[in-house]
Amino acid sequence: MKTVSENKCFGGTQGVYTHASDACKCDMTFGLFLPEEAAHVPVPVLWYLSGLTCTHENAMVKAGAQGWAAEHGLALIFPDTSPRGDDVADDEAYDLGKGAGFYVNATEAPWAPHFNIWDYVAEELPALVGENFALDMSRQAITGHSMGGHGALTLAMGLPGRFASVSAFAPITHPSASDWGRKQLGAYLGANESTWTAHDSTLLMRDKGFDGPVLIDQGGDDQFLDLLKPECLAEAMAARRQDGVFRMQKGYDHSYFFVSTFMEDHVAFHSEALHA
């Protein structure tokens, strides 16, 4: 692991690091905010998964999360959204290939050699940061935006007991029934739709739910509402009587202005679960 940069931030440190990834078979970059408390004791962890076209940097510089994390004594981890490098497969479209890993392990050519973002976020990166930083890996929570909200929800329900809480900003909630999903899941996982189920939060919510609290914020003026299908997840949560809150925020769109507006609520929500 190599240090790219470390900057003083809200009394703690915002770092950027690179390492050779076994899961993705390329160099990967991630951001990590450590609050001041991490100089003395291991701190709880909040993962933030970004959306389409993003790298580790987007939320790190736009979401306004570090100040709230510092207030609650939480570390923030900002993984990248896909493998990178000249030998990594890509597509001309912005919603497939680099920047669009969809938090799955690809099984189809040409994606399978590198696009193993599920294993990277679920196993490899947690092991790496747990070994190298003052993190309490027994206390983890997860959030994300758009494609990252999809990833946060599917990881939370797919890894029972790992996360104390899960939240999402404008998540892709039903990818197996959306053009933001069918294209990508078909490309990465193949035509057998039964393999897609583990990566569809609406189907997972209907089948198993989440063993902790859930918070969803969706902008009412989001330009991608028809692709995100928030009503599907809301209906699944209600049918399951999931411990959670789904909020439609009038007038807000899909941007980081929306994310940063409600970031304080999400960090406080996760802090309560992590410190319970």
DSSP helix/strand/coil, 221: coil
Around Cβ 193, how many Cβ atoms within 10 Å?
Answer: 13
Catalytic residue positions, numbered: 146, 222, 254
How is residue 145 annotated by DSSP?
A: B
Tokens found for residue 262: 């409600």
Whether the CB-CB separation of 91 and 188 falls below 8 Å is answered with no
Task: Report the alpha-carbon distance of residue 117 to residue 181 in Å, rounded.
Answer: 15
Q: CA 149, CA 62: separation in Å to the nearest integer?
A: 16
User: Alpha-carbon distance 52 to 71, whole Å?
Assistant: 29
Q: Helices 256-274 and 65-72, interaxial angle, to 10°?
A: 10
Q: Which of 43, 12, 14 is nearest to 30 (CA)?
A: 14
Q: How far apart are CA 208 and CA 39, in angstroms?
A: 39
Q: Which run of H or of E encompasses 67?
A: helix 65-72
Tokens at residue 179, please? 């053009």
Q: What distances in angstroms separate CA 46 from CA 75, 155, 193, one per listed residue? A: 6, 13, 31
Q: How far is CA 137 from CA 52, 75, 106, 130, 231, in A?
A: 27, 11, 27, 6, 33
